[in-house]
Structure 1
Amino acid sequence: MARFSLIQTNFTAGELSPRMYGRVDIARYQNGAMIIENCWPVVHGGAMRRYGTLHCGQAKYADREAVLVPYVFNTQQAYMCEFGDLYVRIWFPDGSYSGVELVSPYSLAMLRQFEYVQGADTMFLFHNGVEINRLRRITNTEWSLAPAPFVTKPFAERGINFATSMTLSSPAVGTGRTLTSAASAFLASDVGREVWSGSGVAKITAVTSATVATVDVLNAFPSATVATWSLQGSPQAANTLGAATPVGAIVTMTLATDGWRPGDVGKFVKINGGLLEITTYTSPTVVSGIIRSAPTSATASPANAWSLEASVWNAIDGYPATGTLFEQRLHVAGSPSFPQTVWSSKTGESLNFQLGTKDDDATSFTVSSDQINPILHMAQVKTLVALTYGGEFTITGGIEKPITPTNIQVKNQSVYGTSSVRPIRIGNELYFIQRAGRKLRAMGYKYDSDAYGSPDMSVLAEHITQSGVISMAYQQEPESFLFAVRADGVLPTLTVDRDQDVVGWARQITDGAFESVASIPVEGGDQVWAVVRRTINGQTVRHIERFVDGCQVDDGIAATSVGGQSTWTGLGHLEGKTVDIVADGVVMQQQVVIGGQVTLPRDANNVQIGLHFSSRVKTLTPEVQGGTGTAQGNSMRIGEITLRFLNTTGCKVRGPQGLDQTISFRNLGENVLDQPPPNFSGVKRLEHLGWERGEAQLEIIQDQPLPFHLLCVIKKMTIND
């Protein structure tokens, strides 16, 4: 019979996967736990009861999801934005609703895909089905959300797309085919342009009327009649400028034959080394435009020596799906028609995407790989990063040089692929969810390999993300926690400090389901907000809540009465629910909310009232080596345990045989009744916890709405063969 005194000094490995229960040989087994629920492993080693949440208000729609987006101008001016089905509402950092509601272009189906980046007082919003929008705060109660007023968007020779059908006399390859359009489409200068539809290509050789043209079919069309088609290239006619200078002047552009269309307004003309934006349509041969960059001369430019170009961000080709700010440029990417193209604005001018070759000019480039990998996220961590469905890329301008139109390097660092969840930067690493939605990876520079690695941060707790992660947020202060909402409403958290080698997962659960999280800076650190779906009085509701240090209930209120009172209102959002009550630091009997209020048996000055949650830590079976080998599989008896606490009031211990023992934290004596039990720091001992074959697990539970911080567990054990 061997006797041992064993100590678990910390829980920094967090909750381990059941797949790890046999890995008693690794160090993290000694620092891990079987269950850490509604607790946080902290960097210093202990396990602390998580913060509760205070109720802010109800989301606009109870039957539809909403997501939270932080708007941070500075640490004193930070707001939480509630984006829902075609609306956005603004919340103040104290949890109150500002009364500001804006019309949003983002529908319910878009909420999980749209991205954002903020610089100063401007936030850019991205979704591949909506043009880039800009959210701005003018005052606390005056906000605007509208399409970003770009000076110049990226453009190319895109031709014209027709949503009406066309019919060919024969879709097969051959000359002299007759093409008939269902709507007016052709002008004289279209002779020489090409018609595309699917894999079919035809070159126009003559225009008979606005609806009829003669073509040579170069590539066969799938059928004689097609529903949509496009006219490629620019008008095939000489173009003469009214003047070549100065920049900003309005000048005419005259074609030798009909070629301009009313829809050309807003498009760009590259001619004689200059650029003009069409502002007015006068006739099929004359338009006017503003000189954006001066041509070398006003000499007539023949066909194919000038081009008519349109923005590549449009309803047909789609819009950028993601973007970030890096090196004084706005970088955007991921449009449906250009899934691997990155556009970078002019240096210092986020709204100017006029391409050029100077170092500070806007530029575009393609992240090439051996397969089509749409760019899902743009981010930065030491360098510009493009995360795609099939791999992770870094984009640099060379050694210690910025990105310029003539100096771009793109390197594929890994091939894990990313999901649609917006990545989070923590320190010098970029945390992203892998493509399948389960693994959390941390992309960072590795000096030993001179490359960027992306290790799996959930490898020892693969179960923690079992239903897939749908939302993430990061709290840097006062504790370093990453929050990751699961699809089933559980909220895994990761305590992370790479310098201290702390990577510890835990699970946070509530009476309901978490759906979205975000954080904003407040006095003393960062505050995490959540959208929580709950069932109240038999009805589904969605509440906006915020985690608050010192709060011991969920979806609760924290109220004060200077003179004291027994009836407390403001609980209409919990009508019919059984709630925990802490009055002046004393736990009161639970009550059911009726009429939006509860009545205490005595007056109180300060209360916390809200939904109950229990915190628990379940230890793993320890491993010791004896004279006959491992202790695993032997009969084990925990004769005595010593628990070291910090600022804790109350808990109970469940032993190997499932029996509960309550630890007393209140001392008897004078003037202790009607007083809250003091927070305790020190050690508590329990004896006679029982035998179990092959197991020696303990469960330490805090099921009261009171503080709990477990520092270490010391076990005196007897092990028999």
Structure 2
Amino acid sequence: MTIATRRIKSSFTAGELAPELFGRADLRAFENGARRLRNVVIQPTGGVARRPGLVHVATLPGAARLMPFEFNTEQTYLLALSDARLQVFLGDAEVASLAAPWTAAMLPQLSYTQSADTLLLFHPEMPPQRLTRSSHTAWTITPFAFSRMPFHAFRPDIALTPSGTSGMITLTASAPLFQPGHVATHMRLKGRRIQVFTVLDALTATAHCDELLEDVLPTNDWQESAFSGVRGQPVCAGFHQDRLVLGGSRDLPNRLWLSRTGDLGDFDSGSGLDDEGIEFALVSDQVNAIRAVFSGRHLQVLTSGAEWMVTGDPLTPSSIQLNRQTRIGSAVERQVPPVDVDGATLFVARSGRGVHEFAYTDVADAYQANDLALVARHLVQTPVSMAYDQTARLLHVVMADRGVATLTLYRVEQVTAWTRLETQGAFRAVAETEGRVYALVERFGTHRLERFDAAAGLDAALTGIAALPQDNWSGLGHLEGRQVGVLADGAPRAAETVVDGAIPVDPPAATVQAGLPFRHVIEPLPMALGGASGAAAAPLRLVSATFRILATPALEVDLGRGVQPVPFRRLDTALLDAAPSPFTGDIALRALGWRRDAMAPLWRIEGETPLPMTLLSVTTDMRITS
């Protein structure tokens, strides 16, 4: 008996599903999911669109970290931090470049926070740095100045004996203590401040008394600066309730320091007054090395083993409360700063296999940490960078395997859809500034700064405009010797090879875009596993497929006989004299042949024509024997 059936797929809002779920036809995600989504993004209405191309901005000196810097609503900069170098970009133009105190090895663990016109940079082996802007082209990097440093008793078992009570003195330790990194470190003996001047050996150092010491008797009542070349520097920081919050250090990984209210450099806890500094440790039954602090509804502390909530309105030494909320843990191999999406904090799990949404629920009066990558685990593998495009509502997560997992997230509409973006080369980092998403891409042995642009259909692309048609277009030195795709006056042309930074265009054109092609792929889930008439293993014949598209000039489809252009317009490698007109409507295609492989997709959209493509729905007519 032959059964005729029709299936309409009108939504892809579950995104690409992991292969482990191909046997779960009972999941609601099957109705809205896909088997493969490459170089496309999911629209909140359910459709799928070819991703924007990448515009070439600059070639960087090497591996880098990308950070946004928002001076005001009209002046938003992109910072590229590389080995001993900081480059500042405004739009697509480099406006400043200056020497920096970090090395390439420090880049993965660099963290930052911003307040007004000042950006603070942190690394456990580098004193905190302050980046300030005077004008578009005038930037400075200086060490962050603590007006009053926090102190800690690292070795209460060791006694110190001063040789005097004022001026230059000699400190003698009862056990090996001093290291070369102690030079210039501040200490307190019985509450009185001194500063180490020289280190003579492990037991002896000279120091200058900033305050008159009480006596010259041996004492275990002493502390040294919480941050130094010996004890390490702050790991991360954030601003909350007009305080600078420092999270963790190398030797005090689970400790938090909050500055005095309104004075970002004063961390002295004093006598515990409401506006004075606050210091406390996260003490629990597991490791809690602090990885990030985030100011949201409450002060959120993300550690290597759990997520915490710090409450107090306002935060004072007497009102502060600390509660552990969830036990996910954040990445420790590198700093991947969390991002805010509609009031929820998104962070990368320590396992490297999840992106969690740390959100407060009024019903439970607590935070929950749902895994947004639960049904797309194969796409989230060791994230190394993350940025959220609020304009397009896309979360881009760069993976260690060179690709980008992109999430379309609309919580109220229940849209959580992952796709994967790939390019010729390797994505290394992303950053977002005012709706402009930049990517660090490693291509052909060099690192390039590129920007996603909806007007670009190619990667590493440049667009040229001339008053009169030209037959030779230059300026492509960054693609020297590479075969590039070409759009001339909006029409695809045959591929050309860049020679001496230029390509020929025949016939001449007044507008040319050239860059590296990328291929988009859309494949549905195995139809038989969706429960079609209960005949999962029966022979199946696809009779026809109707594709509803929106403003799409080019479409290539595989219905079992290889990828072929659709008949609504000419699409081949031959020269097109004019830009193709976008088509909106239904394209019905016939198919031939019976299929016994239940895992094979019934259809596939695949192509690299550098033109827009938006798929709204697919209707399949099939016959199944039983």
Is TM > 0.5 for Structure 1 vs Structure 2? yes
> 118, 135, 148: which is aligned to 1:122?
118
> 138, 152, 158: which is aligned to 1:142?
138
* Structure 2 residue aligned with 1:455: 370
> How many angstroms does 1:74 deviate by?
2.3
* Structure 2 residue aligned with 1:714: 619
* Structure 2 residue aligned with 1:534: 443
- The separation in 1 between residues aligned to 2:263 and 2:234, in whole angstroms, is 18
- The separation in 2 between residues aligned to 1:305 and 1:416, in whole angstroms, is 43
1:24-51 superposed Cα distances (whole Å, 9 cap, x missing partner): 1111111111110000011111111101
> 68, 71, 88: which is aligned to 2:69?
71
- The separation in 1 between residues aligned to 2:570 and 2:214, in whole angstroms, is 99
Matching of residues 605-644 of structure 1 within 5 Å: 605-622=510-527, 629-644=533-548
Cα distance change on mapping 1:263 and 1:118 into 2, 3 Å: closer
> How many angstroms does 1:485 deviate by?
0.9
Q: Is the 8 A contact 2:41 2:49 kept in 1?
A: yes
| Percent identity between the two aligned chains | 31
- The separation in 1 between residues aligned to 2:140 and 2:373, in whole angstroms, is 40
- Corresponding position: 1:428 with 2:318: no
* Structure 2 residue aligned with 1:574: 479
Q: Is the 8 A contact 1:558 1:606 kept in 2?
A: yes
- The separation in 2 between residues aligned to 1:621 and 1:665, in whole angstroms, is 27
> How many angstroms does 1:442 deviate by?
0.9
Q: Is the 8 A contact 2:171 2:206 kept in 1?
A: no
> 666, 679, 683: which is aligned to 2:582?
679
> 457, 462, 470: which is aligned to 2:384?
470
Cα distance change on mapping 1:591 and 1:4 into 2, 3 Å: same
- The separation in 1 between residues aligned to 2:516 and 2:129, in whole angstroms, is 39
- Corresponding position: 1:369 with 2:284: yes
> 279, 287, 294: which is aligned to 1:379?
294
Cα distance change on mapping 1:7 and 1:210 into 2, 3 Å: closer
> 445, 453, 463: which is aligned to 2:360?
445
> How many angstroms does 1:434 deviate by?
1.1
- Corresponding position: 1:404 with 2:316: yes
- What TM-score results when the alignment is normalised by the length of structure 1? 0.78
- The separation in 1 between residues aligned to 2:565 and 2:196, in whole angstroms, is 80
Cα distance change on mapping 1:442 and 1:658 into 2, 3 Å: farther
1:571-609 superposed Cα distances (whole Å, 9 cap, x missing partner): 000011110111111111110001100010022121210
Q: Is the 8 A contact 1:40 1:48 kept in 2?
A: yes
- The separation in 2 between residues aligned to 1:465 and 1:13, in whole angstroms, is 15
- The separation in 2 between residues aligned to 1:393 and 1:632, in whole angstroms, is 48
Structure number with greater Rg is 1
Q: Is the 8 A contact 2:161 2:216 kept in 1?
A: no
Q: Is the 8 A contact 2:36 2:523 kept in 1?
A: yes
> How many angstroms does 1:432 deviate by?
1.2
Cα distance change on mapping 1:675 and 1:390 into 2, 3 Å: same
Q: Secondary structure at the match of 1:704?
A: coil
> How many angstroms does 1:365 deviate by?
0.9
1:195-243 superposed Cα distances (whole Å, 9 cap, x missing partner): xxxxxxxxxxxxxx98999x7xxxxxxxxxx9x5359xxxxxxxxxxxx
* Structure 1 residue aligned with 2:48: 47
> How many angstroms does 1:331 deviate by?
0.6
* Corresponding letter in the other structure for 2:273: K
- Corresponding position: 1:392 with 2:340: no
* Structure 2 residue aligned with 1:89: 87
Q: Secondary structure at the match of 1:111?
A: helix
> How many angstroms does 1:460 deviate by?
0.5
> How many angstroms does 1:150 deviate by?
2.0
* Structure 1 residue aligned with 2:201: none
Matching of residues 159-174 of structure 1 within 5 Å: none
Cα distance change on mapping 1:385 and 1:210 into 2, 3 Å: closer
Task: Figure out how many residues of one structure are paired with residues of the other and give that number.
Answer: 604
* Structure 1 residue aligned with 2:604: 699
- The separation in 1 between residues aligned to 2:451 and 2:339, in whole angstroms, is 19
* Corresponding letter in the other structure for 2:563: D
Cα distance change on mapping 1:139 and 1:277 into 2, 3 Å: farther
- The separation in 1 between residues aligned to 2:185 and 2:35, in whole angstroms, is 66
Q: Is the 8 A contact 1:159 1:230 kept in 2?
A: no
- The separation in 2 between residues aligned to 1:154 and 1:504, in whole angstroms, is 45
Q: Is the 8 A contact 1:9 1:45 kept in 2?
A: yes
1:621-654 superposed Cα distances (whole Å, 9 cap, x missing partner): 236657xx51322222221111111111111111
Matching of residues 95-106 of structure 1 within 5 Å: 95-98=92-95, 100-106=96-102
Mark the runs of 5 or more structure 1 residues left unpaired by the alignment. Answer: 163-178, 180-184, 191-208, 216-225, 232-261, 291-297
> 399, 402, 406: which is aligned to 1:489?
402
* Structure 2 residue aligned with 1:244: none
> How many angstroms does 1:267 deviate by?
4.5
Q: Secondary structure at the match of 1:109?
A: helix
> How many angstroms does 1:263 deviate by?
6.3
* Structure 2 residue aligned with 1:229: 177
* Corresponding letter in the other structure for 2:584: S
Cα distance change on mapping 1:404 and 1:58 into 2, 3 Å: same
Matching of residues 276-425 of structure 1 within 5 Å: 289=210, 309-356=223-270, 357-397=272-312, 401-419=313-331, 420=334, 421-425=336-340
* Corresponding letter in the other structure for 1:56: V
Q: Is the 8 A contact 2:162 2:171 kept in 1?
A: no
- The separation in 2 between residues aligned to 1:411 and 1:588, in whole angstroms, is 61
> How many angstroms does 1:513 deviate by?
0.5
> How many angstroms does 1:377 deviate by?
1.2
> How many angstroms does 1:674 deviate by?
3.2
Mark the runs of 5 or more structure 2 residues left unpaired by the alignment. Answer: 199-204
- The separation in 2 between residues aligned to 1:211 and 1:361, in whole angstroms, is 30
* Structure 2 residue aligned with 1:584: 489
- The separation in 2 between residues aligned to 1:481 and 1:300, in whole angstroms, is 61
Q: Is the 8 A contact 2:189 2:213 kept in 1?
A: no
> How many angstroms does 1:688 deviate by?
2.0
Q: Is the 8 A contact 2:486 2:493 kept in 1?
A: yes
- The separation in 1 between residues aligned to 2:57 and 2:325, in whole angstroms, is 43
Q: Is the 8 A contact 2:486 2:515 kept in 1?
A: yes
Cα distance change on mapping 1:358 and 1:661 into 2, 3 Å: same
* Structure 1 residue aligned with 2:422: 509
- The separation in 1 between residues aligned to 2:309 and 2:156, in whole angstroms, is 35
- Corresponding position: 1:112 with 2:96: no
> How many angstroms does 1:340 deviate by?
0.8
Q: Secondary structure at the match of 1:500?
A: coil
> How many angstroms does 1:23 deviate by?
1.2
Q: Is the 8 A contact 1:651 1:703 kept in 2?
A: no
> How many angstroms does 1:76 deviate by?
1.5
- The separation in 1 between residues aligned to 2:342 and 2:286, in whole angstroms, is 31
- The separation in 1 between residues aligned to 2:565 and 2:234, in whole angstroms, is 58
* Corresponding letter in the other structure for 1:690: G
Q: Secondary structure at the match of 1:339?
A: coil
> How many angstroms does 1:105 deviate by?
2.0
Q: Is the 8 A contact 1:665 1:677 kept in 2?
A: no
- The separation in 2 between residues aligned to 1:385 and 1:304, in whole angstroms, is 42
Q: Secondary structure at the match of 1:697?
A: coil
1:126-179 superposed Cα distances (whole Å, 9 cap, x missing partner): 1111111111111111101111122112123557999xxxxxxxxxxxxxxxx9
Q: Is the 8 A contact 1:280 1:288 kept in 2?
A: no
* Corresponding letter in the other structure for 2:350: R
Matching of residues 636-655 of structure 1 within 5 Å: 636-655=540-559
* Corresponding letter in the other structure for 1:490: G
Q: Secondary structure at the match of 2:370?
A: coil
Q: Secondary structure at the match of 1:681?
A: strand
